[in-house]
Amino acid sequence: MKEEIIHGDCLIEMQKIEENSIDLTVTSPPYDNLRTYNGYTFDFEGIAKELYRVTKQGGVVVWVVGDATVKGSETGTSFKQALYFKEIGFNLHDTMIYQKNSYPFPPVNRYYQQFEYMFVLSKGKPKTYNIQRCETDPRWRNKTNKSSTQRNEDGTTSGLKYETGKDTRKLDNVWKLNTGYMKGTPDKVAFEHPATFPDMLAERHILSWSNEGDTILDPFAGSGTTLKMAKKNNRNYIGIEISQEYIDIINKRLET
């Protein structure tokens, strides 16, 4: 298995990666200066172009991102980035939501901010889609032939059937995940990083969009969640991280 952790600027280091060699990227950039990340910044457009270059045909990039509120308005950075990915050739395969079960106290004139976007971007049609499943609500298990109300262009119903009468069904594209100290991961050392995403987030995407032996990239490796879940699920991985402090965290996590 290939297990590589690179200390450096991901824009520079990705230029050394072979073209069309990455099956899946799962990452979250340091968006909108919501965290300082030891003062590092990044060139989004340059990195997006490198991600397209290194991704295999049929490969996927999962880009986890949110927006800051500046002078009373959300920045919309997430949408701008998703549209730029489309401009350079990616398909916006799915716009998913990562819903947190803990969140900061809101301003007086807004609701609780509880989610981030997970943009699933594909280079052409995804070559791998191992759609994950969950337990079916007991109320649906004994029902059969329940039709969708999805409409055709002429207003008639599609006739498609829900997955009724089964013990499991496909997951929704809104994932409710545990977050916060010792909830998203059992690795205490991970919380020395200012912003982690849950182990389950990375693992579900890795299982969904790749197979054993595929190569997984995280150009903003951070606390190493993507790398740890890639290793756990028998994938090759390449992690790039500009902070030596965070690389030390990654190495500790990969030892456990």
pTM of the predicted model as reported, rounded to 2 decimal places: 0.88
The pLDDT of residue 163 is 64
The pLDDT of residue 189 is 58
Full pLDDT tens readout for the chain, 256 residues:
789 999 999 999 999 999 999 999 999 998 555 444 454 567 999 999 999 999 999 999 999 998 888 888 999 999 999 999 999 999 999 999 999 887 777 778 888 888 999 999 999 999 999 999 998 877 766 665 555 566 666 656 665 666 666 788 899 999 999 877 656 666 565 565 656 789 999 999 999 999 999 999 999 998 899 999 999 999 999 999 999 999 999 999 998 7
HEC per residue, the chain: CCEEEEECCHHHHHCCCCCCCEEEEEECCCHHHCCCHHHCCCCHHHHHHHHHHHEEEEEEEEEEECCCEECCEECCHHHHHHHHHHHCCCEEEEEEEEEECCCCCCCCCCCCCCEEEEEEEECCCCCCCCCCEEECCHHHHCCCCCECCCECCCCCECCCECCCCCCEEECCCEEEECCCCCCCCCCHHHHHCCCCCCHHHHHHHHHHHCCCCCEEEECCCCCCHHHHHHHHCCCEEEEEECCHHHHHHHHHHHHC
The pLDDT of residue 30 is 80
The pLDDT of residue 230 is 97
The pLDDT of residue 187 is 55
Domain boundaries, the chain: 3-132+171-255, 136-169
The pLDDT of residue 173 is 96
CATH code of the domain occupying 3-132+171-255: 3.40.50.150
